[in-house]
Amino acid sequence: MTLRPARLLLGALGVCAGIAICTLYPTKSKAQSGNGQSQAEGDASPIYGIKIPNGYRDWQLISVKQLTGAGGKFKQLRAQLGNDTATKAFREGKLPFPDGAIIAALHWNEDSSDADNKVLNEGFPGIGLESFFAGPAVNVQFMVKDSKKYAASGGWGFADFTNGRPGNEALHKGCFPCHQPAKDRDYVFTRYAPTP
- Please report, as residue ranges, which positions from 35 to 94 form the binding site for a second copy (by CB under 8 A): 35-36, 39, 57-58, 60-61, 63-71, 74, 77-79, 81, 91, 93
Instruction: Confirm if 183 and 70 have CB atoms less than 8 A apart.
Output: no
The residues near 181 (Cβ < 8 Å, ≥ 6 apart) are: none
Element (H, E) at 76: strand 74-82
Among 5, 119, 147, 169, binds a second copy (CB under 8 A): 119
Report the alpha-carbon distance of residue 172 to residue 111 in Å, rounded: 28
**Is 126 an interacting residue with respect to a second copy (CB under 8 A)?**
yes
Minimum distance of a second copy from residue 173's CB (angstroms): 13
**Is 130 an interacting residue with respect to a second copy (CB under 8 A)?**
yes
Length reported for the chain: 196
Among 15, 17, 29, 166, binds a second copy (CB under 8 A): 29
Residue number, 48 or 161, with CB nearest to a second copy: 161
Instruction: Confirm if 171 and 193 have CB atoms less than 8 A apart.
Output: no
Among 51, 110, 146, 170, binds a second copy (CB under 8 A): 110
Give which of 152, 149, 145 is closest to 173, Cα–Cα.
Answer: 152
Residue number, 29 or 157, with CB nearest to a second copy: 29
